[in-house]
Structure formats: structure tokens, C-alpha cells
């Protein structure tokens, strides 16, 4: 009887040690995988345009792509406070110290439009731009319209001709004044395996040839309720 108990105790100890070792191995693998995914080079190869496509592209206006920041391009938290959707211990890609007090060839002209305060949004945009001068036009909270406690992004502030503006935002409320100009995208919370932005490249490529982007995006209004 004593030998049986000792045998069971030995098996439990062995299983416990094995479980902890396996957990540590998985942790190392996940950490390594995140590093590989986070820093791997991503390419979207396109074939040279045919003469017909080139003439078509020259005949339409160059489009403006309006990009949201938080939960679309980046996810941020401050002073070590993590959102419940972010796994504890997830390392940030970069850290900004912001003191905020409240009393290459491009397909599109890129514009940043965030409902955040300028002192924060400008610092993040500078980091993303990295002195490449591709995020020159920026709009912040003061450029939004406050309605029932939420900030609405008026695209006419960016350009009067709405036929050539596309906004990419995870919040349908932010573009509810211009749903025909919007591409919805799910919120991003530091998931290194997320490919939502990359999946939109074929659509963004095709929209360049459209005379009025609203003629295409207005057909996808049902998607705005998904996010």
C-alpha cells in the first residue's frame, strides 16, 4: 500500500514537472513566433500595369486614404495599464513619453485622422512616419464634430470632393456622416498574427481606378455593423 502511494506521488510529481516544462517551452515558442511575425518583411507584389490600366489610372483623380490611429494602425496603453483584450506581459513595439494635460511611391495621399488629442496623435504619427514625410496631413480631436458624446470625423475637412476619399476606421460611429466613403476594419489589440490591414491591399489597389469610390463602397454598408 505504501509503495503504491509512493508510486502515485512520484507520477504526480513527474506530471507536474513535465507540465511546467511544457508550459515554459510553449511560452518561449510563442515569444519567438511573435518576434518573427512582428518583424518579418511583408510584400505585396503587383504586375506592371497594362497600357489600358495606365490610361485609366491617369484619367481619374488620385485618391486620399484617411487612416485612423487607435485600434486601427496601433493600440496603446499608458503607465502600465493594459486593456483586458491585451495579454499581460505583451511587450510594446515602442514607448512614447507624452505629457498631456486637459484644462517611396504611394498609391494614395495618406492622411491621419484621429479623435485623440493632438499632443498624443502627433507624437504617434511622427513615430509611424519615421522622417519619411508621407504622413504630412494630420487631423485631430479639434477637427472632429462632437455629437452625443462621440467624435465624428467630417471628411469634408480633408477635401471637399468626397468622390476621392476613403477612410479606414474601426469605429463606425466615427464615419457615420460618410458611410459611403468608409472601409470598416476590426479593432486591433496588439495581435501579431492579425492580417486585416494586409487583406485590404487588393481592394485599395482596385479602388485607385474608380472614378467615384462611393459607387463601390456604398454596396458594403452591411459590413459597418460587423465591427
Q: How far apart are CA 93 and CA 171, in angstroms?
A: 23
Residue among 6, 30, 122 nearest 69 (CA)? 122
For residue 53, pLDDT beyond 50: yes
Burial of 11 per CB tally in 10 Å (0-12, 13-18, 19+): exposed
* CB-CB neighbours of 100 under 10 Å: 11
Instruction: Record the pTM.
Output: 0.65
Known catalytic residues are 68, 70
For 209-223, the pLDDT digits (tens) are 999 999 999 886 555
For 89-124, the pLDDT digits (tens) are 555 544 444 444 444 558 899 999 999 999 989 998
Amino acid at each position: 500500500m505504501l509503495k503504491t502511494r509512493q508510486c502515485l506521488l512520484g507520477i504526480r510529481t513527474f506530471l507536474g514537472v513535465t507540465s511546467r516544462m511544457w508550459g515554459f517551452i510553449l511560452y518561449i515558442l510563442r515569444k519567438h513566433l511573435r518576434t518573427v511575425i512582428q518583424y518579418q518583411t511583408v510584400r505585396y507584389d503587383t504586375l506592371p500595369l497594362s497600357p489600358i490600366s495606365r490610361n485609366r489610372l491617369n484619367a481619374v483623380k488620385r485618391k486620399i486614404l484617411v487612416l485612423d490611429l487607435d485600434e486601427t494602425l496601433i493600440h496603446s496603453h499608458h503607465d502600465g495599464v493594459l486593456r483586458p483584450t491585451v495579454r499581460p506581459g505583451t511587450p510594446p513595439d515602442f514607448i512614447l513619453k507624452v505629457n498631456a494635460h486637459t484644462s517611396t511611391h504611394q498609391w494614395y495621399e495618406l492622411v491621419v485622422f484621429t479623435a485623440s488629442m493632438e499632443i498624443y496623435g502627433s507624437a504617434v504619427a511622427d513615430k509611424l512616419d519615421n522622417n519619411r514625410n508621407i504622413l504630412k496631413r494630420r487631423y485631430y480631436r479639434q477637427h472632429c464634430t462632437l455629437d452625443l458624446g462621440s467624435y465624428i470625423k467630417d471628411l469634408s475637412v480633408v477635401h471637399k470632393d468626397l468622390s476621392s476619399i476613403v477612410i479606414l476606421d474601426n469605429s463606425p460611429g466615427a464615419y457615420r456622416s460618410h458611410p459611403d466613403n468608409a472601409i470598416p476594419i476590426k479593432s486591433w489589440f496588439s495581435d501579431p498574427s492579425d492580417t486585416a490591414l494586409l487583406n485590404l491591399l487588393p481592394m485599395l489597389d482596385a479602388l485607385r481606378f474608380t472614378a467615384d469610390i462611393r459607387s463601390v463602397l456604398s454596396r458594403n454598408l452591411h459590413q459597418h455593423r460587423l465591427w
